[in-house]
A and B are shown apart, each in its own frame.
Chain A
Amino acid sequence: MRTQRRRRAIVAALRGLGAVWRTAWAEALANRRSFVVQMTVMMVNDLVWIFFWQVFFRRVGSVRGWTVDDMMVLYAILALAAGLVLGALANLRWLGPLVANGDLDSALALPVDPLGFLALRQVSPVNVGDLVFGIGLFLWLGHPTPARLALLAVATAASVAVLAGFLALLGSLAFLPGTAGAGELGLSAVIVFSSYPTDLFGGALRLALFAVVPAALVGSLPAELVQHPSPAGLAGLAGGAAAFAGAGWLSFRLGLRRYTSGAAWTAL
């Protein structure tokens, strides 16, 4: 009986979050022309990066064992993860300012998980361009086969979990005083460093790219899983994804205890 009630509550919460997400997509698509223009802008931006990598590897051949094929897979995964997290869960990026400004009131009054609600409440058309580009890039230059597509899905899911968890963690820092700006810098660091093979970096920086700013878990390791699948690689990636996703969720829950309302009922 209790299990049944809990299941019903979970289904209702998921339905609620689904409705929030549908609304966010409907809002983003309301101006269809602007949506397409913004998406296209990002896709051309991504294309310039592909041009850079093609030119670079044509000149150097390979760097620390990374070839142009590896790089295309890395970029496809990064584009997919960025598209899903910064595009489809756009508010995660703005979690810090929302917390710092005391703008969570309306989310806290709803019968759904506040972090889930906030994450799903906004869609960023420009980053949805990344999502489309990532799929297109893999189909174009990623040597797609059914098995590789399945690996891509797993690798992308892990990358999304790490990136989303890391952004939630950064956003939750705003519950503490004196941490303004950490969110944008953290996002900048994880996106910049995950755009390059982790093998380029050594020493403490390399360690930091696994544990502090998890760029290695967003870009390089997922790409290696697709290019050279191994149980150890999968386990490491799954562990990292679970750790960062859990840390993000937990830090937000703990942070809410310190939350001070801005006494402003804002539309998120």
Chain B
Amino acid sequence: MTASTITAPGRADHARDLGAAYARVAHAAARATRAQPAALAHTGIHYLIVAVAISSLWTRAASGHGGTIVGYRADALVWYLAATEVTAIAPPLRLIDRLGADVATGRFELELLRPAPAVWIRVAAELGTAMPRTAVCTALGAGLALGVGGAPASLAALALAGPALLFGVALTVVAQHLLAAASFWLRDSRASWFLYQKLQFTLGGLVLPLEVLPGGMGRVARFTPFAAMSYAPGRLASGHLEPGWLLAQIGWLAVLGLVTARVFAAGERHLGGGEP
């Protein structure tokens, strides 16, 4: 039976099978990550180094300004940075580089032989890898924020920061796949990795709340997917009860997912010598 002749119940079965396959891949990747406690500890220590350094800077800056800066109290800034840094450090590092190299060397083409879309298998695997890392970084971040910043300003907002972190990490993984797709045409995605990192750094509010950005830059940044990745969990963790950020994250996940699927489909056709 060809794809065009699959009936509605058949399509539902197919989707269910694919979903189960992605879940199995993610689960296996998560198990593999958990089986390497030294590597997890490495990620956790790296996270702590970065989080301690950047939160020290902002808390000293806030205490020099009467305890508040750009509307954030010193303790809220620690919660903000503890959350934003999770979205940068928990996802597997240099994912764009690796995927780009696999496309350039032809390894990715072999994955096209599988009966499931190669890009989503990869996304599932990376998400599975990211989950234990996210758990470790989040636990350490919460410990740091409680120890240095104190109790969270709003428990309700903090509760929303949990799913926001997961959505943020998922957005990061999907966005990196999208940018890595450049290697279908350029055969070298290192510049994409670099571009992505800097966009997350500035427009994502990774090390500075968007309110600090000059002029209209901060306002524009709020409407980018980078703000949904990092600023959203940071904003919620710092005590701002703004559930709209979760909707923004889901929306961006849908948009980026759709665009990624389209771009990979075009890239795969390009690899096969067809259009475009």
A residues in contact (CB < 8 Å) with B: 37-38, 41, 44-45, 48, 51-52, 55-56, 58-64, 180-181, 184-185, 188-189, 192-193, 195-196, 200-201, 205
Contacts and interface: CB of A to CB of B under 8 A. Distances in A.
A212 to B, nearest CB: 13
Contacts of B69: 59-60
B42 A181 contact: yes
A193 B53 CA distance: 6
Interface stretch (B25-33, B139-147, B194-202, B231-239): B194-202
B57 A45 contact: no
B212 A205 contact: no
A63 B59 CA distance: 10
Given A48-B202, A51-B202, A181 B38 contact: yes
Nearest to A60: B61
Q: Which of B60, B70, B202 has the most CB of A within 10 A?
A: B60
Given A44-B194, A52-B208, A196 B202 contact: no
Contact of A184 (B42, B50, B60): B42
7 contacts: A44-B198, A45-B194, A55-B213, A60-B69, A185-B49, A193-B53, A196-B57
B224 interface: no
Contacts of B198: 44-45, 48
Contacts of B212: 55-56, 59
Contacts of B208: 52, 55-56
A63 B42 contact: no
A221 B196 CA distance: 33
A55 B214 contact: yes
B52 interface: yes
The 10 closest A-B pairs by CB, nearest first: A60-B61, A200-B56, A48-B198, A41-B194, A181-B42, A189-B49, A192-B53, A63-B61, A200-B60, A63-B60
Q: Which of B45, B57, B202, B208 has the most CB of A within 10 A?
A: B57
B93 to A, nearest CB: 11
A205 B38 CA distance: 23
Given A52-B208, A181-B42, A196-B57, A60 B50 contact: no
A56 B202 contact: no
B24 interface: no
B42 A196 contact: no
A58 to B, nearest CB: 7
B273 interface: no
Contact of B207 (A45, A52, A58, A181): A52
B46 A185 contact: yes
Contacts of B42: 181, 184-185
Given A38-B190, A52-B202, A59-B61, 17 more contacts: A41-B194, A48-B201, A52-B201, A52-B208, A55-B212, A56-B57, A59-B70, A60-B64, A60-B65, A60-B69, A64-B64, A184-B42, A193-B49, A193-B53, A196-B56, A200-B56, A200-B57
B54 to A, nearest CB: 8
Contacts of A59: 61, 69-70, 212
A157 to B, nearest CB: 25
Nearest to A215: B53
Q: Which of A38, A59, A193, A201 has the most CB of B within 10 A?
A: A59
Given A55-B212, A184-B42, A64 B60 contact: yes
Given A58-B214, A60-B61, A37 B201 contact: no
Contact of A192 (B38, B49, B61, B65): B49
A205 to B, nearest CB: 7
Nearest to B201: A48
B112 interface: no
A62 B64 contact: yes
A86 to B, nearest CB: 16
B208 to A, nearest CB: 6
Contacts of A51: 202
A180 B42 CA distance: 10
B61 A201 contact: no
B254 interface: no
Interface string B184-221: 00000011001001100110000110001110000000
Contacts of A52: 201-202, 207-208
A195 B212 CA distance: 20
A157 B197 CA distance: 31
Nearest to A64: B60
Contacts of A195: 53
A62 B201 CA distance: 22
Interface in B17-52: 38-39, 42, 45-46, 49-50, 52
A45 B69 CA distance: 26
Interface string B60-78: 1100110001100000000
Contacts of A64: 60, 64
A210 to B, nearest CB: 16
